[in-house]
Amino acid sequence: MKKVGFFRSIHLKFVLIYVLLILVAMQIIGVYFVRKLETTLMTNYQESVKSRVDLLVYDIQEELVKERGKEDPTKEEAIRQILRDYKANDISEIRVIDGSSFKILGTSSLSNQGMVGQRTPDVKIKRSIIFEEDEDVIQLKANERVWVLSTPIMHNSEAIGAVYLVAKIDDIFDQMNDINKILATGTAIALIFTAILGVLLAQTITRPISDMRKQALAMTRGNFSRKVKVYGYDEIGQLAITFNNLTKKLQEAQATTEGEKRKLSSVISYMTDGVISTDRKGRIILINDPAAQMLGVPRETVLSQPLVSVLGLDENYTFDDLLQEKDSIVLDYSTKTKPFILRANFSVIQKESGFVNGLIAVLYDITEQEKIDMERREFVANVSHELRTPLTTMRSYLEALAEGAWRDEEIAPNFLETTRGETERMIRLVNDLLQLSKLDSVDYRLSKEWVNFPVFFNRIIDRFEMTKEQNVSFKRNITDDAIFVEIDEDKITQVLDNIISNAMKYSPEGGTITFRVKELDDQIIASISDEGVGIPKDNLDKIFDRFYRVDKARTRKLGGTGLGLAIAKEMVNAHGGSIWAESVEGKGTTVQFTLPYDRSAEDDWS
């Protein structure tokens, strides 16, 4: 009965009805006031910005009219200066667009300077120029509300351009939010005053209990800064004091835990190595970004997954095996086109009692190390093989000569000639190795000078054409214009000698070798094409590797060492260029390389 009587109390009903009436009235007034105020603020702001845009249009109009009909390299700088003068904090960007070509003549945004000179894709700008009227819209860009305005620039009743403006209007909405907060605060204050009589009638015992309830809710959200007010020192007061002490201890404990957690998280996040932590059942509970990137998996999807499955070890290992593993495990994720090798080290997490809490796996990317070791092994094997073949031949022939073959006037000269040839082959091999060693050294320097490349290229071709012994014709597609490049003439001569020599070696009788030079904005491309047997597609990317030969038997017969194109690649790279090959098997091969080209420097020479 007592509970029913409380809820039917006239005091409670009066307070509730009065509070609801005030609340409804304040809401109606607030909505009407906010709507009107928002419209007024937006209108005033747009008129203010429009007035500034009109002044900007006038200044831009003078600049466009003054420079219209003629090319002036200072026009963009003048427009940029005008835009800089009209730059304001509430304006994100201002662009000036040409009316005839729709090209962007200038922008106030430093990050968008690359758009200058490009055609604008914005439809609103084109509409404003075509229909000679303002186009505006409110948009949401990067979680920020902006007002986009496109105003035509008129001259003699003709739109000669447009001013495109992006203005920030979040400040207006922030003001409205502040006003809403003020209204909400006013409403709350009004409600407090209207309900004050009801509060005074409430029993004093409910106050501390209500405070403790609020504090308990705040604690569930992690807020330990709030304190329960102590109204007295009776049993409820003692409970409030105890509750505050409990809150303080929980706050201190949480601060300590959070601090340690942040330290650990910071250490793990900034590690360059991958780190994975599991629970006692081998399920992943933590993985940092480097580990997720190494394994190529999203962090969210691997959580709670077995470690052995994520690492791809479930066929050979169990989680218990990893707990006992003392050595590191090599994880090979290489594909046919890309090598990728990781090394995993494991550390067991266990208490002092010996109870295992989980496992920590640390991943290291050893792809480059393995690649370097493999290349070193291959290089040593290739050098050993290349030296062993002529040395074996020379030893056999010298032994034959020592056993009396030198007395035979027919055999002895052949043996000596073969020995001499193998000696020269070894000398060429050693010289090529020394050349590569110099190119690999850090302190290697080029002796560059300015060279007219077409004249230089033709001179080398003339030398080959005069000394060629096979029936091969030369075709030149080389411009007569001067193209000056800064190169080490000896090194590029060696590059061209290697490429042209290869083209002549593999060209058939009656074939044609074509020479081309193509001029681009910042580089030139030189190419040599033959009509030989071509290179298989699978071998095309390997021909610039050291000691690589497509046709090993023919290359050795012609005296090749397998290092010519490798040296050419290193020399071109040292000049800041690149070299590559294109081939169709059975139809021929084209080798091309680029060299940096500076037009301004060429103008100085001319």
Q: Among the three residues 362, 385, 406, which one is the final residue of a domain in this structure?
A: 362
- Domain of residue 385, CATH code: 1.10.287.130
> pLDDT tier at 162 (50, 70, 90 boundaries)?
confident
What lies within 8 Å, CB to CB, of 124 at 6+ separation is 135, 136, 137, 148, 150, 164
Query: Does one domain contain both 568 and 494?
Result: yes
Structure tokens at 297: 């998996």
Confidence of residue 552 (pLDDT cuts 50, 70, 90): very low
Q: Is residue 349 part of a domain?
A: yes
Of 104 and 452, the one with more pLDDT: 452
**Band of pLDDT at residue 559, cut at 50, 70 and 90:** very low
186 within a domain of the structure (yes/no): no
Length of the chain: 606
Same domain? 155 vs 101: yes
**pLDDT band at 556; cut points 50, 70, 90:** very low
Residue 194, in any domain of the structure: no
Residues 118 and 65 in one domain: yes
- With 80 as the cut, is the pLDDT of residue 18 above it? no
The residue among 440, 460, 486 that closes a domain is 440
Q: Which residue has the higher pLDDT, 174 or 380?
A: 174
* 318 shares its domain with 430: no
Find residue 593's DSSP bridge partners: 526, 579
Given a cut of 80, is residue 205 above it in pLDDT? no
Distance of alpha carbon 16 from alpha carbon 299, whole angstroms: 52
**Which distant-in-sequence residues (6+ apart) come within 8 Å of 394 by Cβ?**
419, 422, 423
Q: Which amino acid is at 524?
A: I
Query: What's the mean per-residue pLDDT of the chain?
Result: 76
Residue at 408 is within a domain: yes
Please return the burial class of 97, using the count of CB atoms within 10 Å of its CB with bins 0-12, 13-18 and 19+. Answer: buried
> Is the pLDDT score of 585 beyond 50?
yes
Total structural domains within the chain: 5
CATH number at residue 344: 3.30.450.20
Confidence of residue 3 (pLDDT cuts 50, 70, 90): very low
Between 195 and 603, where is the model more confident?
A: 195
Q: Has residue 404 been placed in a domain? A: yes
- 80-137 pLDDT, tens per residue? 777 777 777 778 788 888 877 888 888 877 777 778 788 888 888 888 888 878 888 8
Q: Is the pLDDT of residue 385 over 70?
A: no
Neighbours of 215 (CB within 10 A): 21
333 and 390 housed in the same domain: no
- Shared-domain flag, residues 138 and 243: no
Which residue type, as a one-letter code, is found at position 110?
L
471/480 Cα distance (integer angstroms) = 27
Structure tokens at 312: 């791809």
Q: Do 146 and 231 fall into the same domain?
A: no
Last residue of a domain, one of 233, 254, 270: 270
In the structure, what pLDDT confidence band is assigned to residue 516 with cuts at 50, 70 and 90? very high
Q: Is 52 exposed, middle or buried (0-12, 13-18, 19+ CB in 10 A)?
A: middle
* 24 pLDDT higher than 60: yes
The answer to which of 55-64, 154-163, 554-563 has the lowest mean pLDDT is: 554-563
Nearest to 589 by CA among 471, 521, 507: 507
On the 0-12 / 13-18 / 19+ scale of CB atoms within 10 A, 4 is exposed
- Name, in order, each residue with C-beta under 8 angstroms of 238's C-beta and a sequence gap of 6 or more: none
Residue type, 398: L
Residues 240 and 115 in one domain: no
Domain that holds residue 543: 449-605
Q: What confidence category does residue 424 fall into, taking pLDDT thresholds of 50, 70 and 90?
A: low
List, in sequence order, every beta strand (DSSP E) within 187-340.
Answer: 274-278, 284-287, 329-332
> Per-residue pLDDT averaged across 523-528, rounded?
90
Average pLDDT, integer, range 400-415? 71
Tokens 């193998």 -> residue:
422
Q: Has residue 103 been placed in a domain?
A: yes
CATH number of the domain to which 243 belongs = 1.10.8
Asked if residue 23 and residue 67 are part of one domain, the reply reads yes
pLDDT of 188 over the 50 cut: yes
- Split at pLDDT 50, 70, 90, the class of 247 is confident
Residues 152, 231: one domain?
Answer: no
Of 8-12, 289-293, 405-409, give the lowest mean pLDDT range. Answer: 8-12
pLDDT computed for residue 4 by the predictor? 35
Please give the pLDDT value at position 134. 81
Lowest average pLDDT, out of 10-14, 294-298, 455-459, 503-507, goes to 10-14
Distance (Å, whole) CA 101 – CA 184:
53
- Please indicate, yes or no, if residue 586 is contained in any of the structural domains: yes
Q: Who has greater pLDDT, 165 or 233?
A: 165
CATH number at residue 455: 3.30.565.10
* 252 shares its domain with 318: no
Based on the domain organization, do 265 and 285 belong to the same domain? Answer: no
